[in-house]
Amino acid sequence: MVQTFNSQVKKKWLSGNGYKNAHKEKGYIGVWSYDAAALAKILGLDDSCFKGKKNYPYDLAHYKNARTFSANAYSKWLIKVREKEQGAERLEKEKVYIRELEEDYLALGAAAFYEKYKERFLKDLFFDEAEYRNYRMAGEEGILGFLLVNMLVTDGYILQMDYKDGPEEYLIDFVNERLETDYGKDMIEEPESDDESENMDAEIELYDTKYVKSLGRKLKRKGFRFVWFLIDSDQYYVCIMPKTAVLGKKWHEIRLKVD
């Protein structure tokens, strides 16, 4: 490998092939074989024969020799890239599930719909098919949105909290997991906690607490925002989404609070 490396550098770089007029180009800094030096550094090749050659940046390649290439660091980087790809794939699959549920809600009867989705999430909402059918027959506005929100709660894309819950307990972990897993973004630091009594005050909605507002500002600086779904009087449902994303009509059947 070392012999091949030496041969390639001499033929492609030290001879100056293809670089005769490089000095006439804007930003010219010399005909340096940076990629050859990088390969020598990464692979640990003996490049001593190039020391003193005018086109080989030997001093740069050996600057702080203790700083060697870490295969472990590279592996961690690959793992992070793969996790980002997997998160994006899961998010796309979830969008497919949403479209499928919408289509099934319109096309299937109550019994068939309940049978298809009971194991997925419906059995946690309705005791049996009859209870679901009665709920659907009541014809309340926003039933489809209600079902979608609860499916996304089951799949982890929406966080459900009780009105007595302190947002400090769950919200920051949920936000950072979604940022890292779904979008490959760095985590954000947790804001300072509020006085817990503020979250117990019935006149202050959870999403209006200082803690949540501070977290929301940090989230916006990342290019995201909170969306709160106001379904139950004693429950809060929240997700994060890119600021540029547009919510479809079905979501506006539910009461929303978009930061």
Q: Spell out the domain ranges in the chain.
A: 2-61, 81-155, 158-259
Residue 208 is predicted with a pLDDT of 82
> Contacts for 191-197 with beta carbons within 8 Å, 24 or more apart?
191/215, 191/218, 193/168, 194/168, 196/166
136-156 residue pLDDT tens: 888 666 788 889 889 999 999
d(CA 178, CA 188): 11
d(CA 159, CA 148): 13
Contacts of 65 (CB under 8 A, 6+ apart): none
| The model's pTM | 0.63
Q: Please say if the pLDDT value at position 100 is more than 90.
A: yes
35-79 residue pLDDT tens: 788 888 888 888 888 787 777 788 888 876 656 656 666 677 777
> What percentage of the chain carries pLDDT values higher than 90?
25
Residue 119 is predicted with a pLDDT of 92
Q: Are the C-beta atoms of 252 and 221 separated by less than 8 Å?
A: no
Helix count and strand count (H, E) for the chain: 10, 4
146-191 residue pLDDT tens: 898 899 999 999 999 887 777 888 899 999 999 988 888 888 888 8
Residue 5 is predicted with a pLDDT of 59
Residue 86 is predicted with a pLDDT of 86
Strands, E, within the chain: which ranges? Answer: 159-162, 224-230, 235-242, 255-258
Residue 67 is predicted with a pLDDT of 61
210-228 residue pLDDT tens: 888 899 999 999 999 998 8
How is the beta sheet containing 255-258 ordered, strand by strand? 159-162, 235-242, 224-230, 255-258
Q: Are the C-beta atoms of 109 and 100 separated by less than 8 Å?
A: no
